[in-house]
Amino acid sequence: MAGRTRRPWARVPEEPVPVELPPTGPEQTPRRFTIGVILAAKRYTLPAAGLIVLWQLGEALVPVLMGVAIDRAIGGADPVELVLWIGVLVLNYLMFMLSFQFGSRIGLFGMQAVQHRLRTAVSERLLDPGGLEGAARLPGVGLSVASSDVSRLAMAVAIAVYPLGEFAAIIFGGVVLFTLSWPLGLAVFVGAPAMILLIDRAGGTLRRRSGREQALAASAAGKAADLMAGYRIVTGLRAGPEAAARYRRSSRDALQATLHAKSAQGVLLGSMNAATGVFLAAITLTAGWQALSGSLSVGALITVVGLAQFLVGPMTMVATNFGTIWASATASAERVLDVLRSPKPYERPAASAAFANGTTEAAPAPGHGAIGTAPGAGQPTGGDTAADGDADTDGRHPTDPEPLDLDPDHLHLDLDLTLGAAALRDRVAPGECVAVPVDGTQAAELVAVLSGRAEPGGGEGVRLAGRALADAPPGTLLVAPHAADLFDGTVLDNVAVGGADTDRALAALEDAGCAEFLRAMPEDVHTAVGEGGRRLSGGQRQRVALARALAQDTPVLVLHDPTTAVDSVTEQAVAARLRTCRQGRTTVLLTRSPALLAAADRVLRLGSAQETQETQETQEPQAAQGHEYTDAPGTGTPTTATTPTTASTATTAQGGTR
């Protein structure tokens, strides 16, 4: 395998090759970053550039050799010369063909390796638990940075390969012409840069136009994607004709823009061809005049014209490609940099570093991992090394200093925060199952605070066993998101994640009320859920997601409206089982669903923010009251006499705050 890695042109190595990306610090500019990217894979681009130079020289040699052969073999009517020059031609072809074969491959491999490295860096940043700021938070934008922008930026690596060869060919051609006739050589050395500049300038307008064209074409494509994403809504409303008419309008706009750009392209193409044609005619005429006056042989005349004709290729290539690639690469570099150095709004830097290193520090060493996320900063960032992430997600860190007392009997959860105009101030006793009847906005705020993504608007926040949430090791507290996002793989793959093994996953599927529909499926728990879980209905997806949360078996579990897409019959069954399967561990339900409220030991009461301020001093009795509740129904039967009463008072209070 090591051998393969060293010979990428023979076979693709199985593991990504290491590539050093340029720094992404605050001083980095897109231009410098692009240059850094171009130079990132020197191991591959240098040899590739050398071979590409050889290839271009060989190509440039063809007209030279032909000129000599015509002159000496045909003009001189010499069969030996004919065989000799055909032999030289063979060698030249062999040389440049091989150079091209390998130069092109090695160069591409270098470019792809850089691209891969950039892509993994971007995707790791996008998935980083520290979160993102700016537009890249939108999945569509993130995807386009990680795919298109990364590709365009990596294209810049080609600048280190092909233009070098093209320049080499131009210089070689100029030198040859110079030796044959100095005015011709001078014409190339002056004419080539002038033409390259001219074409590049003229191309600038075209690039801007084609940028607009692409934007409009993309908007037509986006329109189609958006309409198609709402396919069921459109067909449900029988609004197909109207949707098609709207698509047609944006398609026509895109067409108009494209046609405009095409005309500009035509003008550019025409002037480019005219310029090169006149340039060639001028060289031919000069050489012809010299040949007529006897200062140039016929063979040299052919060489001159053949070479000049060949040089047009590299010249236009440099002129059209270099600028285009550079412009689009730097534009993309800016977006890539934006993602790579986006601030991490949810990160607690010091904590996560200490936690990841496992160093023993006096300060509690925690991490945002505590709220159910792994400390990404500590992971090796090379996508190449992330062979299998499962190993990293098994929860408690062995060398965690001053570990939190994980004994479930001591994990009491103190809530003290304001949610809009309401205040939540209570203690959830260890092993208690409580419901918090919050509305949508309050739930979103509470979820954000509990998962460490936001500071509470007021109050002391949330403390677990008397410590800040950030101190809790991963796997202590899980805030299961409301969105039932499933990923590729089977039902079981989706549930047996993180710390959950197969047995626990199977038990959790049973508890979440999945058994019934799974039995009806062709391969039971091994049924593939399809892209985004789309082979399951909304209710089924939600129950699988609930099973995934239950399977984690965390000491504290927060569920946000886990049964909204589930019918009331199933919901009731799920609620009852939830009580039993979370026995002895703390469960917080953010919901107003009657079935879940009924299943909870206690329904927390939301006061008004002001009232809480006033009762600040009487904190102790309140906490004690929390214990009192647990003592009564704590042992598990969901429908003890106290439950409806508490639910009743709570909902009354909630009614008041509405």
Please report, as residue ranges, which positions from 572 to 591 form the binding site for other proteins (by CB under 8 A): 572, 591
Token digits for 65? Answer: 């050799």
Q: Is 61 in the site for other proteins (CB under 8 A)?
A: no
Single out the residue of 51, 177, 505, 545 in contact with other proteins (rule: CB under 8 A): 545
Least distance to other proteins, CB of residue 100, Å: 7
Token digits for 350? Answer: 């010091």
Interface segment toward other proteins; rule CB under 8 A; list 7-15, 24-32, 404-412, 629-637 = 7-15
* Nearest C-alpha neighbor of 157 from the set 381, 325, 291: 325
Q: Is 101 in the site for other proteins (CB under 8 A)?
A: yes
| Number of residues this chain uses to bind other proteins (CB under 8 A) | 185
- Residues in 440-479 that interact with other proteins by CB under 8 A: 440, 443, 451, 474, 478-479
Single out the residue of 427, 592, 602, 605 in contact with other proteins (rule: CB under 8 A): 592
Three-class SS of 306-348:
HHHHHHHHHHHHHHHHHHHHHHHHHHHHHHHHHHHCCCCCCCC
| Signed CA dihedral, 532, 538, 540, 543: sign only | positive
Single out the residue of 39, 46, 66, 331 in contact with other proteins (rule: CB under 8 A): 66
Least distance to other proteins, CB of residue 132, Å: 9
Secondary structure element (H or E) that encloses residue 557, with its range? strand 556-560
Least distance to other proteins, CB of residue 621, Å: 26
* Nearest C-alpha neighbor of 131 from the set 311, 323, 371: 371
Least distance to other proteins, CB of residue 507, Å: 17
Interface segment toward other proteins; rule CB under 8 A; list 270-278, 414-422, 609-617, 629-637 = 270-278
- Residues in 197-256 that interact with other proteins by CB under 8 A: 217, 220-248, 251-252, 254-255
- Which residue's CB is nearer to other proteins, number 251 or number 427? 251
- The position carrying tokens 């990364």 is 150
Q: How far apart are CA 57 and CA 170, in angstroms?
A: 9
Q: How far apart are CA 404 and CA 402, in angstroms?
A: 6
Is 114 strand, coil or helix? helix
Torsion of the alpha carbons at 300, 306, 312 and 313, rounded to the nearest 10? -130
- Residues in 177-206 that interact with other proteins by CB under 8 A: none
- Residues in 298-327 that interact with other proteins by CB under 8 A: 298, 301-302, 305-306, 309-310, 313
Q: Is 142 in the site for other proteins (CB under 8 A)?
A: yes
- Residues in 547-566 that interact with other proteins by CB under 8 A: 548, 552, 561, 564-566
Q: Is 153 in the site for other proteins (CB under 8 A)?
A: no
Q: How far apart are CA 310 and CA 59, in angstroms?
A: 8
Least distance to other proteins, CB of residue 585, Å: 17
Give me the 379-418 binding string for other proteins, x by CB under 8 A, dash otherwise.
Answer: x---xx-xxxxx-xx-------------------------
Least distance to other proteins, CB of residue 361, Å: 22
Pairing of strands 556-560, 606-608: unpaired
Token digits for 337? Answer: 């940099």
Q: Is 6 in the site for other proteins (CB under 8 A)?
A: no
Q: What phi and psi, each to the nearest 5 degrees, are found at residue 11?
A: -155, 150
Q: Is 271 in the site for other proteins (CB under 8 A)?
A: yes
Q: How far apart are CA 205 and CA 197, in angstroms?
A: 13
C-beta of residue 386 within 8 angstroms of C-beta of residue 380: yes
Q: Is 73 in the site for other proteins (CB under 8 A)?
A: yes
- Which residue's CB is nearer to other proteins, number 427 or number 559? 559
- Which residue's CB is nearer to other proteins, number 67 or number 430? 67
- Residues in 500-539 that interact with other proteins by CB under 8 A: 516-517, 520, 528, 530-532, 534, 537-539
- Residues in 607-636 that interact with other proteins by CB under 8 A: none
Least distance to other proteins, CB of residue 555, Å: 15
- The position carrying tokens 């561990």 is 585
Q: Is 45 in the site for other proteins (CB under 8 A)?
A: no
Q: How far apart are CA 566 and CA 592, in angstroms?
A: 14
Q: Is 88 in the site for other proteins (CB under 8 A)?
A: no
Single out the residue of 19, 153, 187, 598 in contact with other proteins (rule: CB under 8 A): 598
Least distance to other proteins, CB of residue 268, Å: 8
Three-class SS of 355-421:
HHHCCCCCCCCCCHHHHCCCCHHHCCCCCCCCCCHHHHHCCCCCCCCCCCCCCHHHCCEEEEEEECC
